[in-house]
Amino acid sequence: MTQRLHLVFGGELVDPQKNVFRDVSQIHIVGMFPDYDSAYRAWKGEAQRTVDNAHMRYFIAHIHRLRDESAPASATEELGH
């Protein structure tokens, strides 16, 4: 079975209509999860915990989509990073 990692994170936005964080140093990293279902549960818990603040927003990032395992190297590996 393929592992599909998901990162849950969030923080206060400058404007609730945009996805721009007010202070990136204050981004809350909820955690890395091995599947979408567990990431969704974590996201939902944080979203519900902060529901009274319209500027707080949490996201699920599909980390597994950042790297194409069929390619010989990722873009950052090709740059030597």
Average pLDDT, the chain: 86
Note the pLDDT tens digit of each residue in 26-60.
Answer: 999 999 999 999 999 999 999 999 999 999 999 99
- For residue 64, what is the enclosing H or E element? none
Name the H helices within the chain.
36-49, 75-78
Enumerate domains of the chain plus CATH numbers: 6-78 (3.30.70.2400)
CA distance 55 to 52: 9
Residue 4 φ/ψ region, left for φ over 0, alpha for ψ in the -120 to 50 degree band, beta for the rest? beta
Task: Say what percent of the chain tops pLDDT 90.
Answer: 72
Report the pLDDT value the prediction gives residue 81, as an integer from 0 to 100. Answer: 45
pTM over 0.85: no
Strand order, beta sheet including 28-33: 28-33, 6-12, 56-62
